[in-house]
Amino acid sequence: MLGNDLDVCKAITANGIWDFHLVDRIVCYREILTDFVPTVGGVSLAEVLPFMKAAGGAPVNVVVGISIQGWERAL
């Protein structure tokens, strides 16, 4: 993560005070994009009628990485 992505995740207390020692309460914030994923494979996008909506974007990627490492997270 470089540049502005460094401030995507911060540990906070319940009353909103920044505390970087509380790593069990990581909250990621920013806009979330909606990805439209085809529900069938092996055909061109022009031929696909049904799409599935999925959360996407940098904040979601960060939350997934945090989750994989076993940390508590919120979005």
* Domain spans in the chain, listed from the N-terminal domain onward: 3-74
pTM of the model: 0.45
Exposed e or buried b for every residue in 1-27, given b needs 16+ CB within 10 A? eeeeeeebbebeeeeeeeeeeeeeebe
3-state secondary structure 15-72: CCCECCCCCCCEEECCCCEEEEEECCCCCCHHHCCCEEEEEECHHHHHHHHHHHCCCC
5-29 residue pLDDT tens: 444 445 555 566 555 555 556 777 7
Task: List the one residue out of 64, 33, 35 whose CA is nearest residue 51.
Answer: 35
Is a pLDDT exceeding 90 seen at residue 52?
Answer: yes
